[in-house]
Amino acid sequence: MKFIVIILLLFSLKTYADPGGCVIYKVKYVLKNGSSHTGLLPLYGYEDYGYLNDQTKTNRYCNDKEFQKLINDVFYKQQKKLTFKIYTEIHLVNFGKSVKQAGSAYPMKFAFADSSTTVQLNLDSIKYTVFLSARPADWEYSSVPIQIVDRKTSLMMQQNEVINYTMLEHPPVPESPGSIYDYNFETYFVVNYNKNISLHELINEVDNISEKIFQPEIKFISSKHKNKSQILEKEKRRTVIQIIDELRKKDIILIQVFPSC
């Protein structure tokens, strides 16, 4: 089976379904044990919490009481979970002039965060919240999640511009023989910060990992194991983490994109 590596990313904004709006809420969370955490919480969606009023730059959740009701509704009632993650800082990938000079279109804006500056909170542990501010998100799509990277990688990405980039994807295939439904593979943007790696060399790097990175999903399609979904996730984590680590040593960052229709 042939794998596809897209050399120049001329990415249409229509490729991914509109995820609605996104507001980044900055809030202080005071816990029942007396400690507190202040952080950023992005909330996506078509609901009113995903948007701010054009004139006031606020919404009805921009106060202490309503915000606390909001997180209980979003995470506990809607998502059926008690934990959620906040970020001390969220950064954007910076594409340098060399990307434009190479004739490539600028891709979607990607957000990333330092793993040491993220905190996981439990709804049951929160005594009350103090709303501080709200602003629209700086990146466009929820299909590209905030990338969590280690401290060293985060500093490198903050201090440098992307030199060139490409994309790694696999064409959809039938979910099963004769099926009218397709299985959509995960997609990866590959951004390079290393000035010594040309676009041609970057493409060769991606070509070398393409078969390995999609192998867990290919096995999943043909598998009849009753726990094949759990096996897939475990194998994907193991495989992708290894590839990510290998590329980061060269200042090449793999950015995961969730499948979309």
pLDDT (tens digit, 9 = 90+) per residue, 173-222? 998 878 899 998 888 899 999 999 999 999 999 999 999 999 989 888 88
Nearest Cα to 194, choosing from 241, 132, 115, 250? 250
What would the pLDDT profile of 228-256 be if each residue is shown by its tens digit? Answer: 888 888 888 888 889 999 999 999 999 88
pLDDT in the model for residue 16: 42
The whole-angstrom separation of Cα 65 and Cα 128 is 8
Using the structure block, give the residue that is written with the tokens 């511009």.
161
| pLDDT number for residue 158 | 96
Partners of 90 in beta bridges: none
For the stretch 37-59, pLDDT in tens is 999 999 988 899 999 999 999 99
Amino acid 45: pLDDT = 86
pLDDT for 225 equals 87
Instruction: Indicate the average pLDDT of the chain.
Output: 86
Q: In what order do the strands lie in the sheet with 83-87?
A: 118-122, 83-87, 36-45, 21-31, 126-136
Q: Name the residue ranges covered by the structural domains of the chain.
A: 4-257
Q: What is the pLDDT of residue 261?
A: 36
Q: What is the tens place of the pLDDT at every residue in 77-108?
A: 999 999 999 999 999 999 888 776 655 566 67
Please give the share of the chain, as a percent, with pLDDT higher than 70: 87
| Residue owning tokens 């054009």 | 54
The predicted pLDDT at position 201 comes to: 95
Query: What is the rounded CA–CA span in Å between residue 173 and residue 179?
Result: 9
Q: How many CB atoms are located within 10 Å of the residue 186 CB?
A: 17
HSE-up (13 A, CA, CB side) for residue 166: 19
- CA gap 254, 259 in Å, rounded: 15
